[in-house]
Amino acid sequence: MPPKNPCPTLATWLALAASVLPAAAAEDVRPSAIEAQSLALQRASESVLGLRAQAVADARSLATLGRERQGSGVLIGRDGLVLTIGYLVLEVERVELVTHHGRRVPARVVAHDQATGLGLVQALTPLGLEPAPLGDATRAVLREPLLLASGGETGEVGMASLSSRRAFSAYWEYHLDAALFTAPPRRDHAGAGLFNTQGELLGVGSLLVADAAEPGAPRQPGNLFVPVDLLKPVMAELLEQGRSQASLRAWLGVNCSESDGEVRVIRVADDSPADVAGLQRGDRIMAIDDTPVAGLAVLWKTLWATSPPQRAVRLNILRGGQPLAVTVHAVDRAWTLRRAEGI
């Protein structure tokens, strides 16, 4: 028999999931199958923890992320390993995990990966919870019902659907070839878990976006999730090195926007390579290392295509309608990050 008092949201979600199952699978939706699915989803929601972190006092990220960070993380290992979104644990000195019952557990940062945008922390005492199994995000079907769960005492479970799977280029130096976009939007998205009908983790929440729809479809607000598929091939590197080899790449220290194929600088980080080189807000980037720039994806991918990270990057820009050539001496971003004393 199904659980006596299933979570109302889970019960509603299960009913919706059953209603859209392929006809060929309808005969398999027996009470025992529904019970197993309900239990799997209950375990999935309980695997999502609240995450609170405090950045070091002189962190470079204070201006954009603040010192006090709050979001979620998903337990993925029986040893207390928790997957979260990287910006929650960037330059932090203290981490605490919070269960749905309000239990607080100290944790430590294991990895922050610039390439994937993911972070790993580990509980320092046993959590007594079942970890969430990792699913395959590439098998998720557009518009199928999904479970979105945030953690902590105020964590919520809700329904979502996959709106699109497409590339995403951020205004900061970040790019994903196949991000997951869901709707409706949730504000408690940071580090939240996205699960399929089997209770398998498909992605970790990153952003609230103005448009989660497929290209050409009507605009639809929603959320962006980083697929767990990106974690699997680099897990060993993250556990051993604290980041993947792909994160060892050039960094300029600029935020850029893209509009109609034009890429312009909207912010320059203080004391960054771009700042030292004299880049300014409003500069239009025409080319990087002789490669024409027609979008953010081209800019970031060309920047990372050449090793080592510490190198001279040639930018051709327009400033006030006048062409200029600027050389930026890029660095490995890890060199610029602040760390807690003793780490």
What SS3 string covers the chain?
A: CCCCCCCHHHHHHHHHHHHCCCHHHHCCCCHHHHHHHHHHHHHHHHCEEEEEEEECCCCCCHHHHCCEEEEEEEECCCCCEEEEEHHHHCCEEEEEEECCCCCEEEEEEEEECCCCCEEEEEECCCCCCCCCCECCHHHCCCCCEEEEECCCCCCCEEEEEEEEEEEEECCCCCEEEEEEEEECCCCCCCCCEEECCCCCEEEEEEEEECCCCCCCCCCCCEEEEEEHHHCHHHHHHHHHHCCCHHHCCEECCEEEEEECCEEEEEEECCCCHHHHHCCCCCCEEEEECCEECCCHHHHHHHHHCCCCCCEEEEEEEEECCEEEEEEEEEEEHHHHCCCCCCC
196/253 same-domain check:
no
Q: What is the pLDDT of residue 247?
A: 96
Q: What is the pLDDT of residue 7?
A: 47
Q: Is omega for the bond preceding 131 within 30 degrees of 0, making it cis?
A: no
Task: Answer yes or no: is 236 within a domain.
Answer: yes
Of 9-13, 138-142, 210-214, 328-332, where does mean pLDDT reach its minimum?
9-13
Q: Bigger pLDDT: 86 or 14? A: 86
Q: What is the mean pLDDT of residues 222-238?
A: 98
Of 15-24, 84-93, 307-316, where does mean pLDDT reach its minimum?
15-24
> What confidence tier does 11 reach under pLDDT thresholds 50, 70, 90?
low
> What confidence tier does 36 reach under pLDDT thresholds 50, 70, 90?
confident
CATH number, domain at 256? 2.30.42.10
16/147 same-domain check:
yes
Task: Answer yes or no: is 343 within a domain.
Answer: no
Task: Answer yes or no: is 323 within a domain.
Answer: yes
Q: What is the pLDDT of residue 161?
A: 95
186/331 same-domain check:
no
Q: What is the pLDDT of residue 316?
A: 98
221/166 same-domain check:
yes
14/96 same-domain check:
yes
Q: What is the dihedral of CA 86, 88, 92, 95, to 10 degrees?
A: -110
Task: Answer yes or no: is 341 within a domain.
Answer: no
For the cut 70, the answer to whether the pLDDT of residue 1 exceeds it is: no
Task: Answer yes or no: is 263 within a domain.
Answer: yes
CB 280 within 8 A of CB 264: no
Of the three residues 246, 271, 297, the one that is the final residue of a domain is 246
> What confidence tier does 38 reach under pLDDT thresholds 50, 70, 90?
confident
Q: What is the pLDDT of residue 17?
A: 52
How many residues are listed for the chain in this entry? 343
Q: What is the pLDDT of residue 6?
A: 42
Of 18-22, 285-289, 326-330, where does mean pLDDT reach its minimum?
18-22
For the cut 80, the answer to whether the pLDDT of residue 18 exceeds it is: no
Q: Bigger pLDDT: 41 or 167? A: 167
> What confidence tier does 4 reach under pLDDT thresholds 50, 70, 90?
very low
Of the three residues 188, 217, 246, the one that is the final residue of a domain is 246
> Can you list the pairs that 102-111 forms with residues at least 24 positions away whose Cβ atoms lie under 8 Å?
102/153, 107/51, 107/80, 107/82, 110/81, 110/238, 110/239, 110/242, 111/238, 111/239, 111/241, 111/242, 111/243
CB 273 within 8 A of CB 331: yes
For the cut 60, the answer to whether the pLDDT of residue 275 exceeds it is: yes
Query: Residue 93 sits in which domain range?
Result: 1-246
Q: What is the pLDDT of residue 31?
A: 59
For the cut 50, the answer to whether the pLDDT of residue 272 exceeds it is: yes
CB 195 within 8 A of CB 180: no
Of the three residues 224, 246, 268, the one that is the final residue of a domain is 246
> What confidence tier does 339 reach under pLDDT thresholds 50, 70, 90?
confident
Of 30-44, 170-184, 312-326, where does mean pLDDT reach its minimum?
30-44
**To the nearest whole number, what is the mean pLDDT of the chain?**
91
Q: What is the pLDDT of residue 39?
A: 87
234/321 same-domain check:
no
79/91 same-domain check:
yes
Q: What is the pLDDT of residue 20?
A: 45
For the cut 80, the answer to whether the pLDDT of residue 173 exceeds it is: yes
Domain count, the chain: 2
